[in-house]
Chains A and B, each alone.
Chain A
Amino acid sequence: MTTPIPAPPTTAATSAARDSAGAAPSRTARPGPHGARWWREVGWRHVVALVAVAFAVFPVLFILSAAFNPLGTVASTGLVPRQFTLSNFTRLLSGERGPFVRWYANTVVLCLVVSSAQVFASALAAYAFSRFRFRGRRGGLLSLLLIQMFPQFLAVIAIFSMFSGVGEVVPAAGLNTLVGYGLVLMGGALLHVWLIKGFFDTVPRELDEAATIDGASHAQVFFRIVLPLIAPVLATTALLSFVGVINEFLIAGIFLTDDESKTLAVGLYGIIDSDRSNNLGLFAAGAVLFSVPVVLLFQFLQRFITGGLTAGSVKG
């Protein structure tokens, strides 16, 4: 058995599930220790946790504070907002520093399309690797690992030349277009094969066999039986992929130079980089708008993936 490489989803899921299972009874009747013993055994853990939470959260507080700070400069921003204004948001949305709304739309469309395409292509390949035995299977899996260790960015010069050529033939997919940039990101089409394969391996083969005996084709087994069973995993993988795309900034910075075609990451970087001290408020407002959907997705999916994977589908 191999462990899927990035496995936090499952561990997070199990830990959350255990939490909910264990927390309820202990909350009502807590026969814990008291006094000095409590401090020695439990109390100090609160102290450590509070320090850690402070460390984890203070940059977030800072972003919020900067976003609502009317002056919007580094010097005037602390952890606690002293004044409150929405002017940073209205200035940003008014497009005074570039078409923010357009960037947002670009990013959302790009992330949705690319991450679903990546997850779909990965799921297809993972199915083949999990269910079929064919020549070059092991080699294929290992070379996938190796190839993906090479950051696509290192080949950016070649990619750049390649797409300036593509742009001459198909202008809609050349440099400075979202289509072309999206294609570049599809280089990660098989990025999630290992993760998804790990989960396919946990789906009992008896299910496929039963369906095959009933006359299902391999495609029907895949789309109707195996894929729905790991839907929560696919959602989590899609989130990882989504976050990967939203954070990609290097190739985007070289590829997308027109204001109209930029993504949020590139656009916001442009705002903060043009004046690191005084554009902080605008940047932070953008950062809040940028982060909120991702944070919400994280919260939402954490609960979503706690459902049992194949619980009950095979008895005995």
Chain B
Amino acid sequence: MTSTPTRPPAAVPASPSPAAPRRGADAGRRSVTASAALLRVLLLGTLAAVTVWLAPALVARESWVGLTALVVGAVSLVAVYSTSRFVPAKYLLPGTLFLLALVVYPIVSTLQLSFTNFGDGKRGTKEEAISSIVGSSVEQLPDSPTYALTVATRGSVTEGPFSFFLVDTRTGEVSVGDADGVQEVEAGEVTVTDGRVSAADGWTLLTPRQVNDAGAAVQELTLPTEDGAIRAQGVARAFEGRTVLRHDEATDTIVNTRTGERFGIGVVGDSEFFVGPDGRPAFSQSWLQGVGLSNYERIVTDDTVSGAFLRVFAWTLAFAVLAVGLSFAVGLALAVVLDDRRIRGQRLYRSLLLLPYAIPSVIALLVWSNFYNRDFGLINELLGLRLDWLGDPWLAKAAVLLTSVWMGFPYMFVVCTGALQSIPGELREAAVMDGARAWTAFRRIVLPLLLVAVTPLLIASFAFNFNNFNAIELLTEGGPFPPDSPSAGSTDILISYTYRLAFGGSGAQFGFAAAVSALLFLVTAVLAAVQFRATRSLEDVN
């Protein structure tokens, strides 16, 4: 299939030739139907409308990345589809835009994150951290005003954003406020019953129970006032107090106005905190900041991490190789055994053997994880064993592999059956005639030919298993966990390990997880490149 390109515009002109003459030439060659033109106008019109609708909102939120993406997307769509030039681009653009926005941009953004300390307690800006530190230092004084509190929201009762309706217990004045400040409420705007706000137009008022469930989001909400701040006290009361801490911008320190203590900035771990004289963080709040290569350094130098990383990496490789290898061996063996016309019911066997391939893998994995239950699991029951499949590191590995084989062999079986049938029978017969035994004929003639056909599939399968998060997470959740390494279990592969680092119980470490992700990407890419080179299957892109 190496015939010459059929159409002149096949090659994108390096320097765009003037549009006019070309369009004229095109018009002579093909007829643009009225409906196609109408469709084009409609689509481009919709695009313009969406752009105009979204742009102000993006500007208002100062979302420059979003705005750039919107403009670049819209301009490229218009440029490609409103003219007759760039024919290949007309076909490539839709998928490419999706790929850029949803795969490439997240990859780049992950790389950026890997140079930060992004994680729990380190999400916001430094200003947010300071206002949180200062705000939480509110102290109630004996003469502080108190309020009957009603928590309200215009958003969701669980997520907020929350506002406080306050009724001054002494004066009965009603006010409303949030983190931006407090303002008076006119008498007619809300309903006050028994000294507290009981209804307000456009607001959802939270019940005490909902306030409780909202937890810290309500309890740590600080309403700045002229000489202090208002905070909640329990679910139904609030008080105005004075902030004890103050941020001194000139020296960038936090000052305790009562004791005169000063907390300057110091680096703890890889992040800046406001630290006390002993050099330890005085407040848990930190902020999002660049940390250079320290996440990567940590992978290499931190003993628990690097020890676990190498162990997990080794098992990831072993898992991917064994899962593919075993599935292939079983699939190939079955294909060879069943490759005999004299077998009655050959087709029935084949369609039954395909069944695992058709079962959604999420279902299959969850069912298999049940089979390994020590007390009631099917495997122990059928075999009369009492093995603790998921509690023992090696048995758990075996279990993961067994399930992978179950899920993988039907595919290999289909592929090998097809490949076997495409190998001319004469070749084998000739070998046997020449005195070769069946096994020799298979090994010397059939197998090499078959491998040529299936190697690309084996590579794809390997890459898939290398990052087969589902298989691990749904079967063993990475476990069992050795006592000395609570974040890297015996069956963890790199991707499930990364996931636990990012979202695990011990506080999210997004920046670190991003560094591991970046490394994982590198490893996958290198492995793939090596394999492609070794097989040369893709050298000749046709």
Contacts of A291 in B (CB 8 A): 358-360, 363
Given A79-B378, A190-B96, A190-B99, check contact A63 B363 (CB 8 Å): yes
In the bound assembly, the distance between CA atoms of A182 and B378 in angstroms comes to: 37
Interchain CB contact (< 8 A) of B360 among A26, A121, A247: A247
Contacts of B14 in A (CB 8 A): 135
Q: In residues 199-213 of chain A, which contact B (Cβ within 8 Å)?
A: 201-202, 205, 208-209, 212
Given A11-B414, A184-B102, A190-B98, check contact A149 B406 (CB 8 Å): no
Enumerate chain B interface residues (CB-CB to A < 8 A).
1, 3, 5-7, 9-12, 14, 29-32, 36, 54, 57-58, 61, 63, 66, 87-92, 94-96, 98-99, 101-107, 109-110, 113, 118, 330, 333-334, 337-338, 340-344, 346-347, 349-364, 366-371, 373, 375-378, 381-382, 406, 409-411, 414-415, 417-419, 421-422, 453, 456-457, 460, 463, 467, 469-470, 473-474, 495, 498-499, 502-503, 510, 513-514, 517, 520-521, 524-525, 528, 537-538, 540-542
Q: Given contacts A49-B334, A53-B349, could you give 19 more A-B pairs where the C-beta distance is less than 8 Å?
A: A8-B457, A11-B415, A53-B352, A56-B352, A62-B367, A122-B95, A132-B5, A132-B88, A134-B10, A145-B528, A150-B524, A158-B109, A158-B113, A166-B66, A169-B58, A169-B63, A186-B102, A189-B99, A265-B360
Q: Is the CB of A169 within 8 A of B61?
A: yes
Q: In residues 44-60 of chain A, which contact B (Cβ within 8 Å)?
A: 45-46, 48-49, 52-53, 55-60
Given A154-B495, A165-B63, A169-B58, check contact A5 B457 (CB 8 Å): yes
A314, CB-defined interface residue at 8 Å: no
On chain A, the number of residues with a Cβ less than 8 Å from chain B's Cβ atoms is 123
Q: Is the CB of A142 within 8 A of B98?
A: no
- Among A7, A152, A170, the one with the most B-chain Cβ atoms within 10 Å of its Cβ is A7
Q: Is the CB of A8 within 8 A of B414?
A: yes
Contacts of B418 in A (CB 8 A): 8, 10-12, 14-15
Given A219-B36, A269-B366, check contact A133 B10 (CB 8 Å): yes
In the bound assembly, the distance between CA atoms of A147 and B510 in angstroms comes to: 22
Q: Is the CB of B421 within 8 A of A272?
A: no
Given A45-B343, A59-B364, A152-B102, check contact A1 B113 (CB 8 Å): no
Q: Is the CB of B370 within 8 A of A48?
A: no
A68, CB-defined interface residue at 8 Å: no
Given A45-B337, A75-B376, A152-B102, check contact A15 B352 (CB 8 Å): no
Q: Is the CB of A128 within 8 A of B92?
A: yes
Q: Is the CB of B87 within 8 A of A201?
A: no
The distance from the CB of A163 to the nearest CB of chain B, in whole angstroms, is: 10
In the bound assembly, the distance between CA atoms of A189 and B103 in angstroms comes to: 10
Interchain CB contact (< 8 A) of B541 among A142, A202, A272: A142
The distance from the CB of B112 to the nearest CB of chain A, in whole angstroms, is: 8
The distance from the CB of A283 to the nearest CB of chain B, in whole angstroms, is: 7
Contacts of A55 in B (CB 8 A): 406
Q: Is the CB of A59 within 8 A of B353?
A: no
Contacts of B540 in A (CB 8 A): 1-2
A105, CB-defined interface residue at 8 Å: no
Contacts of A208 in B (CB 8 A): 6
Interface pick from A16-24, A82-90, A96-104: A16-24
Contacts of B340 in A (CB 8 A): 41-42, 45
Q: Is the CB of A183 within 8 A of B352?
A: no
The distance from the CB of A224 to the nearest CB of chain B, in whole angstroms, is: 12
Interchain CB contact (< 8 A) of B414 among A15, A19, A277: A15
Interchain CB contact (< 8 A) of A1 among B1, B353, B422: B1
A-B contact pairs, 23 of them (CB 8 A): A1-B1, A7-B415, A11-B415, A11-B417, A12-B414, A14-B421, A15-B350, A19-B346, A48-B333, A56-B355, A59-B406, A60-B355, A149-B463, A151-B467, A152-B103, A153-B469, A153-B495, A157-B514, A218-B87, A250-B469, A269-B362, A294-B359, A299-B351
Interchain CB contact (< 8 A) of B525 among A140, A146, A152, A170: A146
Contacts of A3 in B (CB 8 A): 453, 456, 537
The distance from the CB of B34 to the nearest CB of chain A, in whole angstroms, is: 14
Q: Is the CB of A150 within 8 A of B107?
A: yes
The distance from the CB of B423 to the nearest CB of chain A, in whole angstroms, is: 12
Closest 7 CB pairs of A and B: A11-B418, A187-B102, A155-B106, A128-B91, A121-B95, A189-B98, A158-B109
A215, CB-defined interface residue at 8 Å: yes
In the bound assembly, the distance between CA atoms of A170 and B56 in angstroms comes to: 12
User: In chain A, what residue has the closest Cβ to B108?
Assistant: A158
In the bound assembly, the distance between CA atoms of A186 and B95 in angstroms comes to: 8
Contacts of B358 in A (CB 8 A): 291, 294-295, 298-299
In the bound assembly, the distance between CA atoms of A4 and B516 in angstroms comes to: 31
The distance from the CB of B509 to the nearest CB of chain A, in whole angstroms, is: 10
The distance from the CB of A71 to the nearest CB of chain B, in whole angstroms, is: 12
Q: Is the CB of B92 within 8 A of A124?
A: yes
Given A45-B343, A74-B377, A268-B363, check contact A149 B525 (CB 8 Å): yes
User: In chain B, what residue has the closest Cβ to A272?
Assistant: B366
Q: Is the CB of B334 within 8 A of A2?
A: no
Contacts of B453 in A (CB 8 A): 3
Q: Is the CB of A205 within 8 A of B6?
A: yes
Q: Is the CB of A2 within 8 A of B31?
A: no
Q: Is the CB of B352 within 8 A of A57?
A: yes
Contacts of A265 in B (CB 8 A): 360, 362
The distance from the CB of A274 to the nearest CB of chain B, in whole angstroms, is: 13
In the bound assembly, the distance between CA atoms of A148 and B418 in angstroms comes to: 26
The distance from the CB of A311 to the nearest CB of chain B, in whole angstroms, is: 17
- Among B6, B54, B330, B364, the one with the most A-chain Cβ atoms within 10 Å of its Cβ is B6
Contacts of A140 in B (CB 8 A): 92
User: In chain A, what residue has the closest Cβ to B330?
Assistant: A52
In the bound assembly, the distance between CA atoms of A144 and B61 in angstroms comes to: 33
A127, CB-defined interface residue at 8 Å: yes
- Among A10, A166, A187, A268, the one with the most B-chain Cβ atoms within 10 Å of its Cβ is A187
Contacts of B30 in A (CB 8 A): 215-217, 220
User: In chain B, what residue has the closest Cβ to A63?
Assistant: B367
Interchain CB contact (< 8 A) of A52 among B10, B99, B334: B334
Q: Is the CB of B343 within 8 A of A155?
A: no
CB-CB contacts of A115-149 with B at 8 A, as 1s and 0s? 00000011011011001111101101110111111
In the bound assembly, the distance between CA atoms of A301 and B47 in angstroms comes to: 37
In the bound assembly, the distance between CA atoms of A183 and B495 in angstroms comes to: 23
Contacts of A151 in B (CB 8 A): 467, 469, 495
Q: Is the CB of A154 within 8 A of B517?
A: yes
Interchain CB contact (< 8 A) of B375 among A52, A75, A131: A75
